[in-house]
Amino acid sequence: MANSGKSKLKLLHLLMMLQEETDAEHGLSMTAILERLAEAGINAERKSIYDDISTLREFGIEIRTYQRNPVEYAIERRDFSLDELMLMADAIQSCRAITDRQAKQLIGKIKALSPEREREKLNRRIHVVGRVKSANKSVLKAVDILHEALRLRRKVEFSYSRLGPDGKRHVTREGRNHVVTPVGITYDDGFYYLTAWDDGHESMPEYRLDRMVSLKVLEEPAAKNERIANHAYDTGDTAVFGRFTGNEGTAVLVAAPEKLEIITDRFGPAIKTIVADGDEARVSVRLCVSEQFFGWVAGTGKAVRIAEPPSLVRKYEDFLRDLLDG
């Protein structure tokens, strides 16, 4: 039995060292394999290693033999390339909805998917402003609960909290006992949002998941109606500011050519046309008109102004007057 146990451990150690230490450019020679097994307290002969490599190949592990001097063995194909692992690491590091500790744990698991010599490259350094500080504020559990409700086609119940003058979150009276049908989950600007159908108000409000309290799936079946069935998410060709929406329309924004990127960076795919005319660049943008849009224009100082349509210019002027009168 002891020899059988050692044989199984030998096979596992062999697989682990090939996964962690080898790739297309770097292999392990038979001598190196035997030395590493000896360090782990396992004495083996060359013939048994050849048999183990053959067993792993039969199992589906693609172990290549490289006719180098000396001959080397390596696992060449990986489920993920280094570039793909870097992309995943960056996405995790950039997510504001998880804690710093959770991000580090996930990065550690991603590192295990790469050869040991490449793991240092996955130590990404991205500072994220506004990342949640503690696990009880993380929304990952809420996301799981909502997906479970969507899978089971059931309603959910929760309370909704708001930030108080003391800097802490409190459940207000009107924030208690929301019972809604989940329609979908959106991730936007670092936050998760639930789009839901509210039977009582016959409306489709949005809720930020990090503000939900005591979220649970009910036995009550989800509501069914035409608005839920035909709900479509924003395709990105109309600019909104955060989750603030308004009447859709087209605006012409004007900026000096050297300031054009202020507009293009903000509106991206919502831009329809750009026309350069002397000292000005005129940009036609499809957007949802809101006070937040007007606030963005005002925040650019004199770098960006609204040129058309005249009705939108008047609304912007009224917005500025209200601010001054307030």
Give the mean pLDDT of 275-298: 87
Asked if pLDDT for residue 168 goes beyond 80, the answer is no
**Residue 1 confidence class, pLDDT cut points 50, 70, 90:** very low
**Which one-letter amino acid corresponds to residue 95?**
C
What mean pLDDT is predicted for residues 29-35? 94
Of residues 100 and 156, the one with the higher pLDDT is 156
Strands (E), the chain: 28-29, 63-66, 72-75, 154-163, 169-171, 178-188, 191-197, 206-208, 212-221, 247-255, 271-277, 280-289, 304-308
pLDDT value for 47: 93
Position 238 scores a pLDDT of 60
Is pLDDT at 172 greater than 60 in this prediction? yes
Task: Assess contact for 179 and 156: CB atoms under 8 A.
Answer: yes
SS3 270: helix
* Averaged pLDDT of the chain: 84
Averaged pLDDT, 70-77: 88
Yes or no: say if 307 and 313 are a contact pair by the CB < 8 Å rule. Answer: yes
**Is pLDDT at 296 greater than 60 in this prediction?**
yes
Which pLDDT belongs to residue 141? 87
| Residues 192 and 143: beta-carbon distance below 8 Å | yes
Per-residue pLDDT band for 242 (boundaries 50, 70, 90) equals low
pLDDT of 307 over the 90 cut: yes
- Predicted pLDDT at 2: 47
Q: Please state, in angstroms and rounded to a whole number, the distance separating the CA atoms of residues 211 and 192.
A: 10
